[in-house]
Chain A
Amino acid sequence: MYGVGILKGLGVTIRHFFNTYVEDLRYVGKKLNSTQEFERRQGAGSSGIYTVQYPEEKIAVPERFRFVPFLVVEDDDHPERPGHDWCTACGICAKVCPPQCIWIVRMEDPVTKRPIPQPEAFFIDIDICMNCGFCAEFCPFDAIKMDHDYELADYDRTGVHIHDKDKLSKPFSYWRSIAPTTAWEEAVDRGGWEHIDIIKQKQKTGAPVAKPGAAWDSPYVPPIVPVKEEAPAEAAATGVPAAGAAEAATAATEMPVEDAAKEERRKKREAALARKHAKEQDGEG
């Protein structure tokens, strides 16, 4: 019969219309803006009202979300090197950047003109950046990451759309807070929560290294091991082998043996990579 198809279609529309109210009725009495309710409304099976009331409620972006990059620096309360850059100015991010929006000035020793593995200046032109995430993916030092702060609208671009080092630098604890899983995975790859150079240095001297737990949501491990009065003395007294044993013990308790072996391989690879990059750096610099 002519017109049945249209009526069927209108039925769909009206169901959509009523669904928004049915949802309200079905969950009457529940707090509408509770987290659970938000999850249900914004989940795979949602059918009713779907709107996010943006400035009042925002969808938190997932961990892997990419917006403009930022540079990881040590926290301000880091005992050894507060505010120090994780970046070693190796230049890999500038080399993998497809639109070439990263500019790095490597620090130089004023006397010997030898390069120092630290950026003197670091610029990202966010008017060119395509948010592809290659810099974060290929950085061997986990020093450049993609930020989650997308609220960057502005009235002018001439000055503020080239981010310099001050603007780019954000503490490591910020990275841990916006991407706990990824930060944990990277820490597992590095073998500790700190910068890979520090970990290696500590392993050499036998100082304790803050290890990531067995799972990303395991109890919070502070990124910096509080400097205990006894521990260094003990380590110094027993010497390096004991510290190594202690480290192995902690590793064994925290991760299965296979993982530890995998870790070992990974660490070696990382180290080799770092050596290679350093060599490259010297060769080219």
Chain B
Amino acid sequence: MSSLDLRQLHDTEFPIPDEMQGNLAITSLSKVYNWSRRSSVWPMLFGLACCAIEMIATAAARYDTARFGMEVMRASPRQSDLMIVSGTVTKKMVVPIVRLYNQMPEPKYVLAMGACASGGGPFKEGYNVVSGIDQYVPVDVYVPGCPPTPQALINGLIALQKKIDGQSLANMDDVPWYGVGPSDPVPIPILGPDIIDPRQMGLIRQQAMAAAAGQPYGLRELPTVPMKIVSKTASAAGMVEVDAISVVDEAAEADRKARRQDAVARKRAFLAKS
């Protein structure tokens, strides 16, 4: 497991740079704050497929998520902090899932449980299956396996707790929900002739115009080199880095970022004034 352990920042022995000296009190507040947050992560009572059975088994007596303060499974998204996407996400189901995600209050986390929720799983090729819930909502922790055993799921939940531990109140990027204004909802996909992601409207329009003009559409020039595996030093011939292909509507994304930065700046200014 990758060690994204920012908890060392909470160590009072940690050498603090001069410009951060003033933040000492805030970091230890973060510690208390994060402790209370991570010890009461309430998952949503929400099962999709096979993995849901293992999720229920995890919540039951033998593995007992109550030990982590996670036994309160809430059926209402308004009362839950964590969405465990436990199973295959179909195109028909992703619409309610995005809607549920938007209804969850911040801070909210998403855990993709199992191969299907992470990247489509064995059913990826199917016409009604989404290749990973992270195509639609941001995911915090991925738990591989088909299905992950209860112990693997708890391992993922602990990873989530570690992530919460690493978040600092001092960093607005960690706690954007204290920014000004509500957080941006994820656009809800539309069920047309196939599923339509509103964030991709630009690309879809482009393709539709190409189709109307009789040009080939829906085709992609294949990159001649395979994708790069990030984990290890790539040694095999031909393994060069390919640019990540942006599939998100860039204008909308830039707009969103600008608004976010604007909100953060306003919040900073407000804090400085007070």
Binding site for B on A (CB under 8 A): 50-55, 58-59, 61, 67-68, 98-99, 101, 105, 120-121, 123, 125-131, 150-164, 166-167
B122 A151 Cβ-Cβ under 8 A: no
Apart from A130-B115, A161-B144, 19 more pairs, CB < 8 Å: A99-B123, A101-B122, A120-B236, A126-B144, A127-B119, A127-B121, A127-B124, A128-B115, A130-B146, A152-B144, A152-B155, A153-B155, A154-B144, A155-B159, A156-B2, A158-B230, A161-B142, A163-B231, A167-B232
B231 A151 Cβ-Cβ under 8 A: no
Question: Which residues does chain A contribute within 8 Å of B64, judged by CB atoms?
Answer: 51
Question: Which residues does chain B contribute within 8 Å of A58, judged by CB atoms?
Answer: 151
Question: Which residues does chain B contribute within 8 Å of A151, judged by CB atoms?
Answer: 1, 151-152, 155
Identify whether the interface residues of A are mostly helix, strand, loop, or mixed: loop
B91-140 residues with Cβ-Cβ distance < 8 A to A are 112, 115, 118-125, 132, 134, 139-140
- B163 proximal to A (CB < 8 A): yes
Question: Which residues does chain B contribute within 8 Å of A160, judged by CB atoms?
Answer: 2, 230-231
**Distance to closest chain A CB from B240 (angstroms):** 14
Known: A105-B236, A130-B115, A151-B155. A156 touches B142 (CB 8 A): yes
**Distance to closest chain B CB from A192 (angstroms):** 31
Question: Which residues does chain B contribute within 8 Å of A164, judged by CB atoms?
Answer: 229, 231-232, 234
B1-53 residues with Cβ-Cβ distance < 8 A to A are 1-2, 4
Question: Which residues does chain B contribute within 8 Å of A157, judged by CB atoms?
Answer: 112, 118-119, 132, 134, 139, 142
B141 A155 Cβ-Cβ under 8 A: yes
**Distance to closest chain A CB from B53 (angstroms):** 15
B61 A50 Cβ-Cβ under 8 A: yes
**Distance to closest chain A CB from B180 (angstroms):** 27
Q: How far is the CA of A157 from the CA of B139 in the complex (A)?
A: 10
Question: Which residues does chain A contribute within 8 Å of B236, judged by CB atoms?
Answer: 105, 120-121
Q: Contacting A131 at CB < 8 Å: which of B63, B145, B230?
A: B145
Question: Which residues does chain A contribute within 8 Å of B228, judged by CB atoms?
Answer: 159
Question: Which residues does chain B contribute within 8 Å of A125, judged by CB atoms?
Answer: 119
Question: Which residues does chain A contribute within 8 Å of B230, judged by CB atoms?
Answer: 158-160
Residue contacts A-B, CB under 8 angstroms, 21 given: A50-B61, A51-B67, A54-B63, A67-B145, A67-B152, A68-B145, A99-B122, A99-B125, A125-B119, A126-B115, A127-B124, A128-B115, A128-B124, A152-B144, A154-B144, A157-B112, A157-B119, A157-B139, A162-B227, A164-B231, A167-B232
- B209 proximal to A (CB < 8 A): no
Q: How far is the CA of A166 from the CA of B163 in the complex (A)?
A: 27
- B143 proximal to A (CB < 8 A): yes
Q: How far is the CA of A162 from the CA of B64 in the complex (A)?
A: 31
**Distance to closest chain B CB from A150 (angstroms):** 4
A150 B141 Cβ-Cβ under 8 A: no
Question: Which residues does chain B contribute within 8 Å of A152, judged by CB atoms?
Answer: 1, 143-145, 152, 155
Q: How far is the CA of A138 from the CA of B1 in the complex (A)?
A: 30
- B196 proximal to A (CB < 8 A): no
Q: How far is the CA of A161 from the CA of B229 in the complex (A)?
A: 9
Question: Which residues does chain B contribute within 8 Å of A167, judged by CB atoms?
Answer: 231-232
Q: How far is the CA of A128 from the CA of B122 in the complex (A)?
A: 5
5 tightest A-B CB contacts, nearest first: A127-B119, A159-B230, A153-B156, A99-B122, A130-B122
A54 B143 Cβ-Cβ under 8 A: no
Output the nearest chain B residue to A105 by Cβ-Cβ distance.
B236
